[in-house]
Amino acid sequence: MWGLAARLLAAARPHGTARPHGTARSKQKLFSTSSVLSKDKDKSTASKDSPPEGAAKKQEDGAETPKQQLLDIIGNMKVEVSYRKKLQQLKASENKKQAMNKVEGLDSEGSVPQGITEDTQRDKPLNPELVKAASAVASSLPHNKKQIESELLAQLRRHEETTDKQKKGGTINIRNVISEMTVKRQSPAQWGVRISGRISLQDEDGRRIRPERSSARSMDSRRSLKVGRRLNIFTKASTEPEHALKTVSSPTIWDLEFAKEVAAVTAQPPRNGFEEMIQWTKEGILWEFPIDNEVGMEDDAEFYEHIFLEKHLEGFPKEGPIRHFMELVICGLSKNPYLSVKQKVEHIEWFQKYFEEKKELLQEI
Amino acid sequence: MAARRAGAGCWQRALSLGLGRRCRLPRGPDSYRSSSSSPALGKTVDNSQVTQEEIVLPRRKTWDKLAVLQTLASTVNRDPTAAHYMFQDDPFLMPRNAANSRLYSLSKESGKNAAKYIIKNFPQYFDKTFAEPNIPCLMPEALTPQTEGMSEEALRERIHLRMVKESVDMFDQLLQAGTPVSLETTNSLLDLLCFYGDGEPTPEKEPEEKEDLEEPGVNASEQKAPKRQFQRGSRSSGPRWRENNHAERIFKIIPERNAHSYCTMIRGMVKVKLFLTAGGFSSAFEISHSQRLFIFVFLQHGAYSKAYDMYIDLLNERHKADVHAFNALIRAVPYLKERFVERWELTKDLLTHMAQQKVQPTLLTFNSVLKSLRRCGGVGRTMSLFVLKEMEALDIEPSLASYEHLLSVHYKGVDAPSSDIISEVLNEVENRNFTAQDPDDANFFTTAMQVCCDLKDIKLAYQLNKALEKGDNWKFLDVDRSNGYWSKFFSLLCMMEQIEVVLKWYKEMSSSLFYPTPKNILDLLQALDAANQLEMIPSVWEDVKQLGFSRRQDLLEEFLSLMSRDQHPSEIQLAFAKCAEEIKAVHEPAGPGQVPLEWTGSALGHVVVLFSRAGRTQDAWNMMEHFQKINRIPTDKVMDEFLNCAKQTNCPDEAIKMVKLAASLGLPLSQRLKSRTEEEFELSETQKKALESIKWDGDSSDSDSDSSDSDRE
């Protein structure tokens, strides 16, 4: 039986919530537009005596201007309202328990007391503190004091009415409102799943947010990197003497460490073998590329002078055993990296002299 | 292999370029063109023009030692199927998910550190010069001072070797002996002390690891663990400025001070090894953020105001501060003043002082200004643009850090941001090749991508991506940052792009550029769902298994609910059922030490539905029995699907069992199920009897509890 009851309840819930859905949403919208209205009005009153930026600054400073008071009071009021709402909700849930099967009828029931309380509410005077603050605002302005005050109070009254209205209507649906909110937050993530739902939500969102956003836009649209003024603190100066000074002093530990830190920003692990080889080259681990035969060119001799030594054999006979011997000699010399070109030539010359000296002896043979 | 082949072509090109350059042909642009085309062609053209032209061959060409390698490296593209190059030494150690990749790269790095540690601490075993020519970076550094005795020379050497304690001792001894120490040496000692804030320099992470080795037993006691971790946290956060440390003491006792002495003191006091913003590291420590914040502010506040006092002293002594000291002071501003306007006023004052003292600001000055404007709320939004204008007027090119601060000022915590600023920034960034100039440069790309995500602007994200691919800009993303960057980009893609484009990117990026996070997978699933491509799910599930997310409850739920939501063609249903079986396996005890996941009611229901639709009646029934074990109730849909399955596979026994189950749970549906079973199945006599005997009391075997329940009702 208990299981059955639970299932009944579970089955009843979606039906119960489905209908108030729409009403809750519209109420929410009402409420929010009213708050925007009040905000707008606030701004308009503010703009009369000072630019909005100034007002914002004053708020930041926390100076207790009458305007500020008014804002505070409105803020407090909202809190109070929500608290009352909560109480109401508790009551409503009690009601629900008593008439569990009549969940659907509750809406119509709720509408009866709503009308009554609304009437009483209308006559109820506004919070005296609030009235005082409103008149203070009005008196701070240069003209039309009476009119402004009455406008302010009328606005406040309207505000209170709407909140009350919502309080009555919205009590049952407070949970729906909350769940709506969570849905909204998820909607960007669950983009695809709820496209249709999201579009309709967005629609309402747009209407709600647009006034605020447009004001923010107008502030932002002035912001651009291209236009605007500069600070005008520094002047561009050629600072050559200073540079000269800087180069003289040796780098301090600060400079060294800063350089290291900056280098570390772009020091990423290599992405392929070649990059790794670049890193190794920089560290001095790898032979430098290209590996060519230009190493040692500094001692003023090209590699071919080291290797092609035939030209030094002109003084020798064109053929015969001496020629053969000398060819072997230069072959050996050309492979010897440890001798300089000069030494190699001297070596050949020694043989030339030697064979010159022994010429007669050789001819005898 | 592909790289090598690609490289061959490049060799040729490099060679031809080299040869071309060797012949300097003084006449006319034509010859130049010819020389750059190919060596052979060049020769023929030369022959035709011949004669008077004098060809001057340079005796030798100086090569940049990296030119060839850089050319080669530029021919290699990223392989979308492979992990990062650093893992390719060993195929066995190829990471498949973010955790492994982190572990492996850290292991590799710590291996290197261990080797360095050995070389550094036991240089006596490395006295042979193996390499010819010698490779200095592989040899132990000479860390012992060569100069003996007490002299300024010896002190200077110790300062140079960064031996903090020895330097201080030597300085004291010299002073006691009455030996004068030159101002220059004293200043470099102050530099050293201020930089390390009294602690010994601790390169690498050795102290942390040593600490772990020293007290392995402590790990177990939970009480001590947080404390120890905090100690570690504070230590790794770098030096702190202590009251009356050596730097302050020496600063007080030295007879003469110049501007440098003051400036280095200021820099030392402001220097903060960010213990706050180093989020990546601090997340490893178990103290909460607010705790850390509190301690941080508490520790640092004193030093900041001291730095400012030091600056006032410097002014009183009629010295001029240098640009670094000003930079440090500007960075300290948010900690000196509470209110936004006051902060900005102080910053402006400092800048005016700079101008008065004829100190030319640098890029870092303005980056410091922008950085402190990040903590100035709405004031920062207006002023940051003025600062950028000022930079432009002074011909100082903003670095990536400047832009990063700018973006953060304009987009962090702003309700309805417009995309004006970021698109302008991206237009600027796109056309420039950046080199690192500021340590904060590294944050630009992640911050910018975050802004793109917040604005949900895929076009901006593509533009940013293009800027990242330009030149060496990718180097600004280290491994962690690039993971963050790509995962944000991917989420944005999933949200805004066509599914084909998303999948193309996914194939390109996944596991070669970054490892998707669980959130990325959820985004991908939603994108698939939105595009009605649920048949892709099994392949995504394969990836998820590889990524090591197969035990993430939220992911599993999403998978199951998407798979079981609609009816699909049979082969897709079979693939889905396979996934469901694997998900089921995660919930069952596998090996020793592996705790199975807890079933949730909905997950069970989804699995039953998936098995039923694939016609695996027996598996589905096994899952049905789990409901009773975990005290959950199957939904109507689940039971209907099961009955359909039993009907299709003609298993009246299972159907009867199910009716029995429904009845024992006391579900209102059981009557309907029973009548359905009677109508739709061809039941044998015994089966009919069994079905009849279920009734409301349940049958005799497991009726006891049920019947007593019904009695109570």
The pLDDT-based confidence of B16 (bands split at 50, 70, 90) is very low
DSSP state letter for A171 = S
Residue in this structure with the two tokens 């709820």, named with its chain if needed:
A194
Does the pLDDT value for residue A143 go beyond 90?
Answer: no
Stated length of chain A: 365
Contact B495 A191 (CB under 8 A): yes
Q: What is the pLDDT of residues B282-315, one digit of tens each?
A: 333 343 444 444 444 444 566 788 888 889 888 8
How close A213 gets to chain B, by Cα (Å)? 6
The answer to whether residue A1 neighbours chain B at the CB level (below 8 Å) is: yes
Tell me if B191 and A191 make a contact (CB, 8 A cut-off).
Answer: no
Query: Do residue B436 and residue A266 have CB atoms under 8 angstroms apart?
Result: yes
**Chain A residues within 8 A of B59 when measuring between CB atoms:** 297
Is the confidence at residue B73, as pLDDT, over 70?
Answer: yes
Residue of B nearest to A263 (CA): B436
Which carries the bigger pLDDT value, residue A364 or residue B193? Answer: B193
In the stretch 32-61 of chain A, residues with CB closer than 8 A to chain B read 56-57, 60-61
Residue of A nearest to B139 (CA): A285
Contact between chains at A1 and B420 (C-beta distance less than 8 A): no
Residue B426: what pLDDT?
93
Please tell me the distance in Å from B304's CA to the nearest CA on chain A.
18
pLDDT class of A289 with cuts at 50, 70, 90:
confident
Is residue B217 scored above 50 in pLDDT? Answer: no
Q: Residue A350: how many CB atoms within 10 A of its CB? A: 10
In chain A, count of helices (H) and strands (E)? 15, 0
Q: In the numeric block, which tokens belong to residue B698?
A: 């349940």
- Are A234 and B264 an interchain contact pair (Cβ–Cβ within 8 Å)? no
Distance from CA of A72 to the nearest CA of B (A): 21
At residue B277, does pLDDT exceed 50?
no
A10 at interface of B, judged by CB pairs closer than 8 A: no
Q: Which residues of B touch A273 (CB under 8 A)?
A: 3, 76, 85
Q: Is B573 left (phi over 0), alpha (psi -120 to 50) or beta?
A: alpha
Inspect the interface and report whether the beta carbons of B425 and A225 lie closer than 8 Å. Answer: yes
Share of chain B above pLDDT 70, in %: 78
pLDDT recorded at residue B635: 87
Closest CA of chain B from A246, distance in Å = 11
Those of residues 158-187 in A touching chain B at CB distance below 8 A are: none
Is B533-589+596-695 CATH 1.25.40?
yes
Interface contact flag, A254 B386, Cβ < 8 Å:
no
CB contact under 8 A, B348 and A233: yes
pLDDT band at B402 (very low <50, low <70, confident <90, very high): very high
The β-bridge partners of B510 are B514
pLDDT of residue B279: 35
Q: What is the mean pLDDT of residues B493-511?
A: 92
Q: What is the pLDDT of residue B13?
A: 40
pLDDT at B246: 82
Question: Is some CB atom of chain B closer than 8 A to the CB atom of A3?
Answer: yes
Chain B residue with Cα closest to A272 = B85
Domain segments of chain B as ranges:
85-130, 397-477, 533-589+596-695
For residue B324, what are the CA distances in angstroms to B300, B379, B671? 19, 25, 84
For residue B666, the distance in angstroms to the closest alpha carbon of chain A comes to: 7
Distance from CA of A143 to the nearest CA of B (A): 32
- Contact call for residues A96 and A106 (beta carbons, < 8 A): yes
What is the phi/psi pair of residue B66, to 5°?
-100, -10
Give the pLDDT mean for B57-63. 73
- Cβ–Cβ contact A222 with B under 8 A: no
Mean pLDDT of chain A: 60
Q: Which chain A residue has the Cα nearest residue B711?
A: A1
Q: What pLDDT score does B542 carry?
A: 93
| A residues 244-283 closer than 8 Å to B (CB) | 252-254, 257, 261-278, 281-283
Task: Name which of B603, B548, B555 is nearest B580 in CA terms.
Answer: B603
Tokens of B314: 């410097």
In angstroms, rounded to a whole number, what is the distance separating the alpha carbons of residues A179 and A173?
10
Maximum mean pLDDT: which of A73-77, A292-296, B171-175 = B171-175
Picking from A228, A263, A273, the nearest residue to B385 by CB comes out as A228
Cβ-defined contact of A234 to B438 (cutoff 8 Å):
no
Residue B130, CA distances (Å) to A277, B22, B135, B206, B561 in order: 20, 37, 9, 27, 65
**In A, which residues are within 8 Å of B63 by CB distance?**
289-290, 292
pLDDT at A76: 58
Q: For tokens 């701070």, name the residue.
A: A140
**Nearest residue of A to residue B406 by CA position?**
A225
Look-up of token digits 């909350």: A178
Contact between B621 and B656 under an 8 Å Cβ cutoff? The reply is no
Residue A42: count of CB within 10 angstroms of its CB: 18
Q: What pLDDT score does A293 carry?
A: 62
- CB spacing of A213 vs B416 below 8 angstroms: yes
Q: Do A278 and B386 touch (CB under 8 A)?
A: no
Question: How far is B484 from chain A, CA to nearest CA, in Å?
Answer: 16
| pLDDT, tens digit, 9 for 90 and up, residues A21-59 | 444 444 444 444 444 444 444 444 444 444 444 444 444
Residue pLDDT, tens place only, B523-556: 999 999 999 989 999 999 999 998 889 888 999 9
User: Could you tell me which of A320, A315, A310, A313 has the C-alpha nearest to residue A356?
Assistant: A315
Residue numbers in B near A264 (CB within 8 A): 439
The band of A266, judged by pLDDT with boundaries at 50, 70 and 90, is confident
Residue A51 token pair: 């630019």
CA B294 to chain centre: 25
Q: Quick one: pLDDT band at residue A357, thresholds 50, 70, 90? A: confident
Asked if A268 and B162 come within 8 Å (Cβ–Cβ), the reply is: no
Top-confidence range, A212-221, A301-310, B405-414: B405-414
Check B386 against A231: CB less than 8 A apart: yes
- Residue B188 with chain A: CB contacts under 8 Å: 252-253
Whether A20 shows a pLDDT value over 70: the answer reads no
Q: How far is A294 from chain B (nearest CA, A)?
A: 7
CB contact under 8 A, A270 and B85: yes
Smallest Cβ distance to B478: which of A212, A229, A268? Answer: A268
* Higher local confidence (pLDDT), B204 or B624: B624
Cα–Cα distance for residue pair B570/B648, rounded to 1 Å: 13
B106-138 pLDDT tens trace = 999 999 999 988 988 888 887 776 677 777 788
Task: Give the separation between CA B363 and CA B713, rounded to whole angstroms.
Answer: 82
Phi-psi region of B433 (alpha: psi -120 to 50; beta: other; left: phi over 0): beta
Are B68 and A289 in contact (CB < 8 Å)? yes
Binned at pLDDT 50, 70 and 90, residue B401 comes out as: very high
Residue B421 has pLDDT above 80, yes or no: yes
Q: Do B70 and A283 touch (CB under 8 A)?
A: no
The DSSP letter of residue B284 is T
Is residue A32 within 8 A of residue A208, CB to CB? The reply is yes
User: Smallest CA–CA separation between A268 and chain B, in Å?
Assistant: 6
CB A205 within 8 A of CB A188: no
Yes or no: say if B686 and B700 are a contact pair by the CB < 8 Å rule: no
Beta bridge partners of B56: B24
Q: What is the mean pLDDT of residues B226-233?
A: 35
A191 reaches B (C-beta below 8 A): yes
Q: Cα separations (Å) of A69 from A51, A124, A131, A241, B615?
A: 19, 22, 11, 59, 71
CA-CA-CA-CA dihedral for B393, B394, B395, B401, to nearest 10: -100
Q: Do A233 and B352 touch (CB under 8 A)?
A: yes
Phi then psi dihedrals of residue B499, to 5 deg: -65, -35
Amino acid at A67: K
This prediction has a pTM of 0.64
Distance from CA of A34 to the nearest CA of B (A): 20
Handedness of CA B158, B159, B163, B164 (dihedral sign): positive
Q: What was the pLDDT predicted at A253?
A: 86
Contact A189 B522 (CB under 8 A): yes
pLDDT of residue B113: 93
Burial class (CB in 10 A: 0-12, 13-18, 19+), A68: middle
Mean pLDDT of chain B: 78
Flag if A283 and B137 touch (Cβ within 8 Å). yes
Those residues with Cβ within 8 angstroms of residue B629's Cβ, 6 or more apart along the chain or in another chain: none
Contact residues on chain A for B389, CB-CB shorter than 8 A: 228-231
Taking CB atoms and an 8 Å limit, are A193 and B530 in contact across chains?
Answer: yes
Average pLDDT over residues B464-485: 90
Distance CA B189, CA B522 (A): 56
Regarding predicted confidence, which is higher, B604 or A152? Answer: B604
Residue A14 has pLDDT above 60, yes or no: no
State the Cα–Cα distance between residues B266 and B254, nearest whole angstrom.
17
Q: Name the least confident of A24-38, A241-255, B172-186, B245-259.
A: A24-38
Interchain CB contacts (distance < 8 Å): A and B? 209
Hey, are the CB atoms on B527 and A191 less than 8 Å from each other?
A: yes
